[in-house]
């Protein structure tokens, strides 16, 4: 059994978003992925993107980090 946290938070200020991403990166090495390499794998990750949905625009991916062996 694992303790899992999922967050999906939008911020008006880039500095607030970057602060959370930086904090998550500090914990990344403690995280694990589940069933890696199997059909039912669940890869722990950090997704960071600029969301344009409030302006009718597409998202722009800034960074994605995955936890893999």
Residue 48 is assigned to a structural domain of this protein: yes
Q: How far apart, in whole angstroms, are the C-alpha atoms of residue 26 and residue 61?
A: 20
Q: Which structural domain, as residue segments, surrounds residue 59?
A: 43-69
pTM score, two decimals? 0.86
Residue 69 is assigned to a structural domain of this protein: yes
3-58: per-residue pLDDT in tens? 999 999 999 999 999 999 999 999 999 999 999 999 999 999 999 999 999 999 99
- Rounded (5°) CA angle 6-42-17: 30
Residue 49 is assigned to a structural domain of this protein: yes
């Amino acid at each position: 059994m694992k303790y899992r946290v999922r967050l999906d938070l939008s911020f008006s200020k880039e500095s607030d978003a970057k602060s959370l991403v930086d904090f998550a990166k500090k914990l990344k090495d403690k995280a694990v992925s589940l069933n890696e390499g199997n059909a039912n794998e669940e890869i722990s990750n950090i997704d960071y993107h600029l969301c344009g949905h409030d302006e009718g625009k597409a998202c722009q991916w800034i960074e994605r980090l995955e936890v893999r062996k």
